[in-house]
Amino acid sequence: MGRIDKVTYVTASPNDPAVVSGFAQAIPLVSRQLGRRCLSSIGGVPRETSRSSVKKSPIDQRIVVATTARAEEKDFVDAISLAQKAFPSWRQTSIEKRTDILRRAAELTRLRRFELATWMIYEMGKNWLEALGEIEETADLFDYYAQQMLDNDGFTHRMGTMARSDTNTSVMRPYGVWGVIAPWNFPSALLAAPIAAALVTGNTVVAKPASDTPVTAALVAEIFFEAGLPEGTLSLLYAPGELAGRMLSRPEIAGATFTGSFEVGFRQLYQNFSVQYPRPCIVEMGGKNPAIVTANADLEKAATGIYRSSVGMNGHKCSACSRVYVAREHHDEMRERLTELFKKTAIGNPLERDTYVGPVARQEVLRITSVMSTRRAAQMPSTPAER
């Protein structure tokens, strides 16, 4: 197949023989598995439920990617209880053992990267390199967390003392059961990374993946257990956001990591998480930053960066550029450069090699975009002079 030394969002090429060969094998393999059944996993044991959801591909609504067994309140209760029981043993597991599991998970992720990327393309509509780049990022994060634990000796450090007879040590202790709620736009990296960070520091995890990406989530859990994670330490539950937010705010949850909207992250989770007593709650709710092109900027690099930021991953990311400030003397040239780049954009089926922008991933996003565009149009000045 050939070898790819390093895959990132911008360095690899869809024309690389190894990339072409990898997807040529993975796409037929995955297409034969479409329509698979995804079950919630309670500590590594699959659980069927009475209610199901259907995931269709944004590439073609006639393609059923998967059906998922929707978890109910009892499933969360069971998963949390099992994680509590598994916690004492897992927290006593050596740092070397925990980091070995993350290293092995990184290795397995890279070995299966074309398969994993292809599932993500079907579920999210990402192009080849965006999907492949995220899978590589997932593996990189596993390696990074493992190395941080080893480099810092488990974050156990001797501290200063007042007398020679004193012993003063800073010791990082795991909290207990950690909740993870992941978003739909980076379904591998932003699910797997917080799970890995919690696990390698000795916590057990109950995770709720995005409903739009059930297969990607199932494969993340599969790789963790194949890498040697003990049963009980990780549960994966497919459930509506409201139910997951409520259940992962329960007193038995020692800490939580959330990535998603402000409405859910701040109003539903953060404001209600530490009411009774302090608990760590990490909420990453995104936002969109402007690009600023200064008078002494390299205009070629600036145009390329703005273009990639605005249309990369079909714009489905908090780092998507939606506003640009340009020094007056560069205005016309920057407009011309960006216009040319956008004109050359290959829009189409992301399963095809040359496609750069695929479909909008969710109908909900399309509706929101339409409403926002209408509002902006209503606020526009009515004449060129007013503009």
Taking the C-alpha atoms of residue 233 and residue 101, their distance in angstroms, rounded to an integer, is 12
Q: Does the domain formed by 17-154+174-284 have CATH 3.40.605.10?
A: yes
What's the predicted TM-score (pTM) here? 0.88
Per residue in 163-179, pLDDT tens?
888 888 888 889 999 99
pLDDT at 383 over 50: no
List the CATH code of the domain at 291-379: 3.40.309.10
In this structure, are residues 200 and 8 in contact, taking their beta carbons and an 8 Å threshold?
A: no
Which entry of 72, 231, 284, 352 is annotated as an active-site residue? 284
Q: What pLDDT score was predicted for residue 371?
A: 42
Sign, Cα dihedral of 186, 200, 102, 38:
negative
Mean pLDDT of the chain: 89
284 is catalytic: yes
318 is catalytic: yes
Which entry of 231, 252, 318, 352 is annotated as an active-site residue? 318
Sign, Cα dihedral of 34, 243, 231, 186:
positive
Sequence ranges of the domains in the chain: 17-154+174-284, 291-379
Per residue in 204-219, pLDDT tens?
999 999 999 999 999 9
Per residue in 254-304, pLDDT tens?
999 998 888 778 877 888 888 888 899 988 887 777 899 999 999 999 999
| Residue 17 C-beta-side C-alpha neighbours within 13 Å | 3
Per residue in 334-358, pLDDT tens?
999 999 999 999 999 999 999 999 9
pLDDT at 1 over 60: no
